[in-house]
Amino acid sequence: MSAHSKYQSPLTSRYASKEMAFNFSEDKRYSTWRTLWLNLAIAEQRLGLTDITDEAIEQMRANLDNIDYEVAAIEEKKRRHDVMAHVHAFGLVAPKAAGVIHVGATSCYVTDNGDLIILRDAYDLVIKKLAQVIDILAKFAKEYRDLPTLGFTHFQPAQLVTVGKRATLWIQELLWDLRNFERARNDLKFRGVKGTTGTQASFMALFNGDHDKIEELDQLVTELSGFSEAYPVCGQTYSRKIDIDVLNPLSGFGATCHKIATDIRLLANLKEVEEPFEKDQIGSSAMAYKRNPMRCERVCSLSRHLMVLVNDALQTSAVQWFERTLDDSAIRRISLPEAFLTTDILLTTLQNIFEGMVVYPKVIERRIRQELPFMATENVIMAMVKKGGDRQECHEEIRVLSHQAAHVVKMEGGENDLIQRIEKTEYFKPIWEELPALLDPSTFIGRAPQQVDSFLVKHVEPALAPYAEALKDKTRAELSV
């Protein structure tokens, strides 16, 4: 049967990076199990279990990646137990260790500790990529810090902002996501060596009731596995509440992605900002002129999937009776990998978008010209008052002209001619020469450029400082499809 004749998840076959796909692969999972068995054996030997020889440990170490999946599959079909199938397969290639692999442990020693290692490594991958995405967008914000653009509230024209200032709104949410990713990653601990229901009873037999040695064993295996600390108590599994803490930041990131991509899609419709569009890219099979924002549409689509995955963890955590039930297993095999694979794909896509985002200043300028005259009415009134005019009288004069100009725009489809009307109205003659200055868009953007500068220095640079080396090594993001 060829690879094309059976279902493959599009997350791995179509979108995900090789690094993240490997992190949730069988090779990574089962080599991690073998590493955990090795660490347990090393620790047990150090603490006095003489049945574990140096030769046994060396055979285990030499065969961490030498996995015969066919042998494991045959054994699992016979035993209906994946962990024992892999204990058997490991023992065949490390025969001197066959009798001591997994000694004293329960299945969750490898499954749960293995999951925690994989989740930690997954977070390391996405944290690095998120820092790179923020860095790219920060450069965009700096470049366009002072380019005036129409602000929108309710998607209706509002006071001017700048293109760079708007980008800082996106960056700020991404910084919160970075903070949440870091917290979740650093909060992860090890399940440790706790036995079948978390009481370490099996190790009491192994170490003749020596409580200090059992605690030392737990800490030693934890450190050998790359963690400084284990959860102090657990049932058979680590608490599934941890999965909520793992998935919640990822689902929150999905909401950020959806908001950013939607903003860009709306700006693309206005022809102000567009995602990259490649030379030979086809927007529509029928409409040759189309430039569809397909990258941002993909971001929105995948974000909707990511946003709801935390619900799997919430529902699962809520129904874990007593020390554990097995209705957590199948759903975790789906939701945990998919959350990280989807996050990884979103980060690559966002990087690709930000690296090639196109701004059209002339389109932006034209839209400002259409709306700015209405926004400038208060400036006109104030200028007239300074020349000795009566505010209420001036307000009425400009109100009448504004309604006339709005009629031209809305009912006749014409351009906003409010300024031309002011220039032809004798009442406003005292400020005719001032009108160009009163309509300079740069005077309507407040402190937006300075806000961008301050934000980048005080908030973005410190957040990215720990990732300086990773930012040096970043390469352009290429989308395979």
Active-site positions? 154, 284
- What CA–CA distances, in Å, run from 277 to 40, 184, 215? 53, 36, 59
What's the CA gap between 439 and 417, in Å, rounded? 13
Q: Locate 414 and state its tokens.
A: 């014409």
Q: What is the distance between the alpha carbons of residues 17 and 306, in angstroms, rounded to a whole number?
A: 17
Residue 398 phi, psi dihedral angles, 5° rounding: -75, -30
- Are 348 and 17 a contacting pair, CB within 8 Å? yes
CA–CA gap between residue 428 and residue 438 (Å, rounded): 13
- Three-state SS for the chain is CCHHHCCCCHHHHHHCCHHHHHHCCHHHHHHHHHHHHHHHHHHHHHCCCCCCCHHHHHHHHHCCCCCCHHHHHHHHHHHCCHHHHHHHHHHHHCHHHCCCCCCCCCHHHHHHHHHHHHHHHHHHHHHHHHHHHHHHHHHHHHHCCCCEEEEEECCEEEEEEEHHHHHHHHHHHHHHHHHHHHHHHHHCCECCCCCCCCCCHHHHHHCCCCHHHHHHHHHHHHHHCCCCCECCCCCCCCCCHHHHHHHHHHHHHHHHHHHHHHHHHHHHHCCCEECCCCCCCCCCCCCCCCCCCHHHHHHHHHHHHHHHHHHHHHHHHHCCCCCCCHHHHHHHHHHHHHHHHHHHHHHHHHHHHHHCCEECHHHHHHHHHHHHHHHCHHHHHHHHHHCCCCHHHHHHHHHHHHHHHHHHHHHCCCCCCHHHHHHHCHHHHHHHHHHHHHCCHHHHCCCHHHHHHHHHHHHHHHHHHHHHHHHHCCCCCCCCC
Distances in whole angstroms, Cα of residue 439 to Cα of each of 26, 75, 125, 376, 396: 64, 79, 49, 7, 20
